[in-house]
Amino acid sequence: MFHRSELQLNRDTARRFIPLMVAAMVYLATLALAGAVVVGATVDRWSEGLRGTLTVQLPGGRGDASVAETAARTDTAVSLLLETAGIATAQPVPASDLESLLEPWLGKGNLPADLPVPVLIDVTLDPGARIDLVALQRNLAGVVPGARVSDNGVYLERLVRLARSVQLVAGVVMLLVALAAVAIIVFATRAGLSMHRETIELLHLIGARDAYIARQFVTNALWHGLLGGIIGVVLAAATVAALGVIAGEVALPVAGLRLPEQLSISLVLWLAGGLLIPVVAGLVAMGTARLTVMRTLRQVL
């Protein structure tokens, strides 16, 4: 005996939708969070690969006769680059690599001999070095007309900016979803208070404190938050895992975005999140319910 609560909130059929709503919210928030994490990891890898690199492009020669000339111009450019302060390495991209890059468009072995394939030179900088790109461009064009320097940093910067925007949007989504979840709990708690108004008045009249009444809502909300959190996280994990499988099979044509690898890297993160998110959902629901009850009851005698 004495284990039954006076309000029996868990028997209210209208309240059964709460864990489902919380689950939906947690699902969306978790997906947004996972998206932010994946984008973050991808950007980190891009940054590592691209930071401190330049690409120099030389105009390609036409026909067999130009092979020797092209090689000479490449050597000139490479030696100029290596003499420049702050440059660590300068490595021409092998012609076979360039051909394989063009393969998707032209087909294997269909490369016309007289196609003016440009020469690309991968340049890496000394760690922390800053290069005057305008001066380098001018010097290079002086020895090899038509040479162009492209700074991968600019490209990277744009990508990073894009990634940060995506993460910001994910953050906003999580915030909105959390607010919506809080609103649901507030609404459901108020509905419960009004539905059980008579019992609550009785409890007050026989000497119950607001906290005594709040406790029943808080226990109920904690349970709903935990349950909804667990369901939401499990569904989100399943969704991301399914995305990973699909991405693995289809091999996303987006440079650097290899989903399954990043997911396994963040396995620890998933485990931590899987435990943490339901707990956070439960605590938020609890706090919201308590605050709502205490504030609402302050208005009754």
Judged by the rule CB under 8 A, the positions of this chain that interact with another protein are 1-2, 4, 6, 8, 11, 198-199, 201-210, 212, 298, 301
CB nearer another protein, residue 22 or residue 218: 218
CB nearer another protein, residue 198 or residue 249: 198
State the minimum distance, in angstroms, from the CB of residue 196 to another protein. Answer: 10
CB nearer another protein, residue 280 or residue 297: 297
User: Which residue is it, tokens 């492009």?
Assistant: 57
CA distance 253 to 243: 15
Q: Find how far residue 132's CA is from the centre of its chain.
A: 34
State the minimum distance, in angstroms, from the CB of residue 236 to another protein. Answer: 37
State the minimum distance, in angstroms, from the CB of residue 204 to another protein. Answer: 7
* Nearest C-alpha neighbor of 230 from the set 218, 238, 240: 238
State the minimum distance, in angstroms, from the CB of residue 290 to another protein. Answer: 16
CB nearer another protein, residue 108 or residue 298: 298
State the minimum distance, in angstroms, from the CB of residue 297 to another protein. Answer: 9
CB nearer another protein, residue 158 or residue 295: 295
CB nearer another protein, residue 96 or residue 299: 299
State the minimum distance, in angstroms, from the CB of residue 301 to another protein. Answer: 6
